[in-house]
Amino acid sequence: MDKFQWKNFFEHKTEKCRVLVVGDVMIDKYYHGDVHKFASDAPVPVAKIFKRRSSLGAAANIANNLVLSGCKTYLAGFVGDDHNFETLSEQLTKSGINQDGLITTESPTTTKVRIISGHQQMFRMDFEDSSPKADKHFAKLESYVKKRLNDAFDAVIIADYEKGVCTEYFCAAVIKAAHSHGVPVVVMPYGQRWIKYAQADYLTPNIAKINKVLLSPISGADDEAVERAGRYIMRKFKVKNVLATRSAYGVTLVRDDDAIHIPTKFQEVFDSAGAADTVAAIFAMALAGGLKPEDAAFITNIAAGVVISKSGTYAVTREDILNELRIKD
């Protein structure tokens, strides 16, 4: 596929894609303030807050990348009955992400609150409970996934951040249900127990995550080492393909019979936060739109290049990618 066809895909076909994101949902809150004094009642700095903002995180950020690229997006996971869920729900509604699959539990909505002065993060508070939820909650979530798959979805993303959703049983149930409908499964992995993703169609780890499951770390600059690592992951964890994200060095798609190394254009890596979310989102959407895996990998590499050139967590848009394709003409 040439660049003209890629542009045609983003201009006319992404709105036809239907993707279900299942996994750990999060909301990020930021409080910006000036620090000029210490508290009178304790030896701690006082931040006078002048700005606050919230952004979608984890699986919700993957969903945000999808919807900003024009895709019909559905989100499923666990939340709490609390103020942080209200903030999350408002953000999802504003973004146009379907949230019918959010199951309320007794645990808090996973939230990270950051206090920032200037460009320095001073403090972070986490509201979360990463333990597996009750069987009744998993039963509701599994029922939702199976019901939605009857509605003709084009791809499923499992977004694992080890916050309690992606147990071995639940991942296996989602993968089996998706495959029964002929729907490919893309996994954003986390931790080291990747056997729970067995039979998934694609894993999308970055080099840092890959190194956590290898005996000896590799460099993202080494094509052969990345390919070997991809094949090791495919054998050990019984997954079908690996799309490895290599930051400034691009991406590598490893399959049974070949490996495709796609370099990114030379640029300064300003911040890689959120790049993994973008890779999972754009690659799954491209597959959902009927693109070949190699073409999906090329487009994903362009999207990841946009994200690493931005500051902080950034959700790529359809216009971002179209602008990059125009520049490459």
Report pLDDT digits (tens) over 133-191: 999 999 999 999 999 999 889 999 999 999 999 999 999 999 999 999 999 999 999 99
Residue 39 counted as domain residue: no
pLDDT > 70: what percent of the chain? 93
Of residues 94 and 14, which shows the higher confidence score? 94
Active site residue 277: yes
Helix axes 318-328, 293-308, angle to 10 degrees: 100
- Tell me the average pLDDT across 89-99: 97
For 117-128, write each residue's pLDDT tens digit: 888 888 899 999
Number of domains in the chain: 1
Residue 91 counted as domain residue: yes
Q: Could you tell me how far CA 280 lies from the centroid of its own chain?
A: 5
* 36, two tokens: 């000029």
For 277-317, write each residue's pLDDT tens digit: 999 999 999 999 999 999 999 999 988 888 877 766 677 88
Count CB-CB contacts under 10 A for residue 180.
10
- Which residues on neighbouring strands pair with residue 287, listed in sequence order? none
Question: Assign residue 319 a region: left if phi > 0, alpha if psi is -120 to 50, beta otherwise?
Answer: alpha
Residue 78 counted as domain residue: yes
Of residues 83 and 269, which shows the higher confidence score? 83
Residue 324 counted as domain residue: yes
- Tell me the average pLDDT across 247-265: 90
Query: How big is the CA angle at 246 (ends 116 and 200), to the nearest 5 degrees?
Result: 100
Q: Which domain holds residue 100?
A: 3-27+58-328
- Distance in angstroms (rounded) separating the CA atoms of residues 160 and 184: 17
- pLDDT of residue 4 exceeding 80: no
Fill in the DSSP letter of residue 274.
Answer: T
**What pLDDT, on the 0 to 100 scale, is given for residue 273?**
56
For 192-220, write each residue's pLDDT tens digit: 999 999 999 999 999 999 999 999 999 99
Please state, rounded to an integer, the average pLDDT across all residues of the chain: 90
- pLDDT of residue 271 exceeding 50: no
Residue 215 counted as domain residue: yes
Please provide the size of the chain in residues. 329
- Tell me the average pLDDT across 71-93: 97
- pLDDT-based confidence at 321, cuts 50/70/90? confident
Residue 52 counted as domain residue: no
Residue 37 counted as domain residue: no
Residue 248 counted as domain residue: yes
Of 24, 154, 201, 277, catalytic:
277
- Residue 155: give its domain's CATH number: 3.40.1190.20
